[in-house]
Structure 1
């Protein structure tokens, strides 16, 4: 209960490190060895710490490399995928979430904050993004709340420039969103996040590198293009022509207006 109360302290509230850092680090490390906390308590400890990260970037190395947030979050998502019935319809509870579903949503929210704030690349990112992809695939036909949160997380991961495009390829994120974009049952939220996901990737693929990186990036462009061609993304792009123009013109000056040409003509 104490950890859950602490987790509700907002990101804008500044707290001196001396008041929490040693004890919170010990709590997390002790749980990693002895598993003495409930899933909700453990999530709450991480949420409190990541909330502090918003105002204090010196916590980055401790969170990412010292306490291994990426590894722990990935493991927790895998555990929830076994315990939460993502593919089954909810019972007669008026759409209310179970405690496990609520705790899972809290984990997805804290992962969102981590992606948004962390600028350190971690080799375990592929596994974490892969866990989110699996969550997205499993929930998209029945649990739209978790499904929508999952695809928005994939968009935020792509937005983090320290998440490599190869990470998105290896994790299956690009495959999963391509598949969903061509489904006639996709709603506006899914389509909007999917379009933004590929707009971000387009911008990343345009960045300049040294000669070795240029060769690698060209190969990555070709691979993504072939995937899009196979999934019929060109047809989808054509149908969203006006949406893409409006998207780039109104919502992000940095995103290319010729995104449709860019992906079709690599």
Structure 2
């Protein structure tokens, strides 16, 4: 009796040439020797690379993950072969920005979690390879919040990420480890567990440029997730590791390689990946601006880079565009961010442009109105210090002149009629 009796692929899978071929190969795997299994899985991985989001989600259902679990249990699929498949599925899931809650509820998720914990709690020496493999698969595939993760997972992943070998194979291993670390989320952990290692990884790259763009961004994402719960990291992030400078450089370098005028579906794999990394950097920037209380010229330069990405992505990349607006909103809400820097970077200008471009209420309009309202609140606050009060008045005049220059008074008036309370502050700029 076949393991797949009762598993009707046609009922679940969006039928295309790719998904049909994947289903055929998957059904053949249980009848193969291990070396043949790996060959078929390599073919399956090639098909996964080509799948669009709809095909991907239709294939990787809870039922399929449960079937993989059963195949492992009944020794019809070797653990090594399963890891080869699952790592690639998870890696592609992250790159394609796919939420796949089907794994979270599967028996395979439970198996992988138990194996990580069991291996970690054994009295004998920990098998780092097993923990690393399981942790990478688990962190790539899981979408719900992780409530508990064995410390050994972080230790093993950091150990892999610290490798200095610059061969293509070693770089891939480092990228996989850092991508998994970046996907841990906001789970709290003690600084002694990770800070020296992640600082070494980031500093070594700054000197030797040994990481891929995705790997370097993932290292920062892991650190930014820790920053959300540990504000004492601020000095390290701002003044020792220079996040703002590094993020600015990354955005500039990546943007040069992207043809922003061409829509995403018309791009090659390399360009799509670079846009993904840009969007991930902007998420880190949002986290940084939200949590950070320090301010310096490097951060002022970062604002300009966000504006440049926003303007470039405006027509064809709505995800990147929205992320830029969220980050700029985070900057405006921070009292340490100087309004003059927002003006010089072009941030205020793009809020005004968004307001002028539509009479309909949409995400960009609401964000722009909210941002201008926050700026207005800050400019209304009179200062006790005479010099600071003069600066406040001068800045208010500058903003008013910008409104006049862009011809936004009528636009503000029209939105004021629809959103009286939220617009009240902005109206103050005109008087």
TM-score (norm 2): 0.56
Q: Is residue 2:398 matched to residue 1:232?
A: no
Separation of aligned partners in 2, 1:125 and 1:243: 35
Matched, 1:173 2:339: no
2:428 maps to 262
1:254 paired residue number: none
In structure 1, distance between residues paired with 2:260 and 2:330: 22
Q: Higher mean Cα deviation, 31-40 or 231-240?
A: 231-240
1:202 is matched with 376
Displacement of 1:259 in angstroms is: 1.9
Measure, in 2, the Cα distance between the counterparts of 1:10 and 1:141. 30
User: Shift of the alpha carbon at 1:24?
Assistant: 0.6
Q: Supply the distance in 1 between the matched residues of 2:179 and 2:427 (Cα, whole angstroms).
A: 49
SS of aligned partner of 1:121: coil
Contact 1:205 1:217 (8 Å CA) reproduced: yes
2-side partners of 1:116 and 1:42: how far apart? Answer: 21
With 79-88 and 38-47 compared, the bigger mean Cα shift is at 79-88
> Where does 1:185-224 land on structure 2 (aligned, <5 Å)?
188-209=362-383, 210-224=385-399
- What secondary structure, in the 3-state scheme, does the structure 1 residue paired with 2:309 have? helix
Work out the CA distance in 2 between the residues paired with 1:186 and 1:111.
29
Gapped runs of 5+ residues in structure 2?
1-175
Q: Is the 8 A contact 2:373 2:426 kept in 1?
A: no
Stretches of structure 1 that go unaligned for 5 or more consecutive residues are: 249-256
1:42 and 1:29 map into 2 onto residues whose CA distance is: 11
8 A contact 1:14–1:55 mirrored in 2: yes
Instruction: Using the TM superposition, give the Cα deviation of residue 100 of structure 1 relative to its aligned residue in structure 2, in angstroms.
Output: 1.3
- 1:19-56, Cα deviation, whole Å (9 max, x unpaired): 11111101000000000000010001001111111111
Aligned residue-pair number: 252
Q: Distance in 1 between matches of 2:381 and 2:245?
A: 29
Q: Which residue of 2 aligns with 1:253?
A: none
- Which has the bigger relative contact order, CA under 8 A and spacing at least 6? 1
Task: Report if aligned partners of 2:416, 2:424 keep a CA contact under 8 Å in 1.
Answer: no
Residue 186 of structure 1: how far off its partner (Å): 7.5
**Aligned with 1:84: secondary structure?**
coil
Task: Give the 3-state SS of the residue equivalent to 1:86 in structure 2.
Answer: coil
Please say which structure displays the higher CA radius of gyration: 2
CA offsets, 1:48-95, max 9 Å, x none? 1111111111100000111000000111110121112222223358xx
